[in-house]
Amino acid sequence: MVSPKDLVLITGATGHVGSWTLVQLLREGYRVRAAVRSQAKAAAVLARPQIQALNPGHRLSFVTVPNITAPGAYDDAVEGATHIIHIASPLASGGNDVPLNQHDAHFIQPAVRGTISLLEAANLGGTVRRVVITSSFIALVPMDELNGTRKRDPSKPVSPNDRIPFAPGPYESEFAAYAASKVAALQQAEAWMERERPAFDVVHLHPGFVLGRNDTATTAGQAMQGTNSVVLALLLGKRFGPYAGATVHASDVARAHVSALEPTVLGNQSYILSQSARWNDAIAIAKREFPEAIKTKLLVTGGSVKTTPLPIDASLTEETFGFKFASYEEQVINVVEHFLELRLRKKTGVQMVSASAPKKQQVVVNVSAIAC
């Protein structure tokens, strides 16, 4: 249960998953301190209609952490915090803009140092009871199984206790470097916990490809960024892949992050946030749910995304958190509704009412900007 004394420090609140999680925290009555890189980032969060609608007042505050890799980066931020949700981590830029020889500095080191710095600060502060860390499904699955070059044994589903070795660079792509950063951060965090034995525990959450409206996006072009771009690029006629068939609605990811703060959720444990999906099913969903957009060519049906099937065992998550994941259909509808809303806003200048939970053109697409 939420106590007036509980204070949650959240990192990454300016991103897709972080924005959903921040809203969920405020809805459930928590006091929240958001770590941001600048005051401009804090102002942008406060300007979101979804935040303003909650009228958080003194329940939402900010602390500036300009460099998460700096020694003692979070020491001041954790003061008085009872819980931490750590979402911030470097993502792929949308292409291969980061030179190969900089992958370690851009992806691996910030992911590891940011996580360890936060754990050290929590230990030093002495008030933190639990840290929830956003890991990833890809921290549990070898890269060759993710891209389909090696088929996983169907009788051995991906489980929350799976671990894979860290592979040092050079990496063939930003996505490969990002995946390695998630593996490294998980390994280093678990090793730190084993070595230091702090008074708090840690929950690791492993979402698949996160789908759902991104309220940090205010244009259709911005909506094409991140994991939503897989569905939208498909419905704009692009043909690409393969990508692992493992998706989750952003609302479920947010709910799990906030629920993981409860002491009834077993700590020092990993939980998978994902279910199996076939990417191309989005075409049939769009035909059924958005026939006018298909008719007017805002959406098209000629695209294709090859799916790498992966068996997933998320039973521990469903048993522990007590909810079923939103379906792939709900995920797709939520993504496409927002995209079409933004296209309509561009034409009419009308601000649409934002949905905050799943319910029933020429755009430049760079489908390499994928992270889960």
- The pTM of this model reads 0.92
For the purposes of burial, counting CB atoms within 10 Å of the CB of 289, is it exposed (0-12), middle (13-18) or buried (19 or more)? middle
Nearest in space to 68 (alpha carbons), one of 58, 59, 60, 78: 78
Cis? peptide before 110, omega within 30° of 0: no
Provide CB contacts within 8 A for 211, sequence distance 6+. Answer: 227, 228, 231, 247, 248, 249, 250, 331, 332, 334, 335
For the purposes of burial, counting CB atoms within 10 Å of the CB of 362, is it exposed (0-12), middle (13-18) or buried (19 or more)? exposed
Q: Work out the widest C-alpha separation in the chain, in whole angstroms.
A: 60
What pLDDT, on the 0 to 100 scale, is given for residue 356? 45
Helices 174-196 and 109-125, interaxial angle, to 10°?
30
**Distance between the two ends of the chain, CA-based, in angstroms?**
30
Cis? peptide before 160, omega within 30° of 0: no
19: its two tokens: 């924005």
Nearest in space to 333 (alpha carbons), one of 353, 307, 359: 359
What pLDDT, on the 0 to 100 scale, is given for residue 274? 97
- For 72-99, what is the mean pLDDT? 87
pLDDT at 317 over 90: yes
pLDDT, tens digit, for every residue of 203-239?
999 999 999 999 999 999 999 988 999 999 999 999 9
pLDDT at 295 over 50: yes
- Distance separating alpha carbons of residues 161 and 270, to the nearest angstrom: 7
Contact 134, 257 (CB under 8 A): yes
- For 254-277, what is the mean pLDDT? 97
Ranges of beta strands (E only) in 294-347 are 304-308
What pLDDT, on the 0 to 100 scale, is given for residue 360? 38
- Distance separating alpha carbons of residues 5 and 23, to the nearest angstrom: 19
Lowest mean pLDDT among 172-176, 222-226, 290-294, 364-368: 364-368
273: its two tokens: 């946030």
Nearest in space to 256 (alpha carbons), one of 21, 30, 51: 21
What pLDDT, on the 0 to 100 scale, is given for residue 372? 60
Contact 210, 372 (CB under 8 A): yes
- For 265-279, what is the mean pLDDT? 97
What pLDDT, on the 0 to 100 scale, is given for residue 270? 98
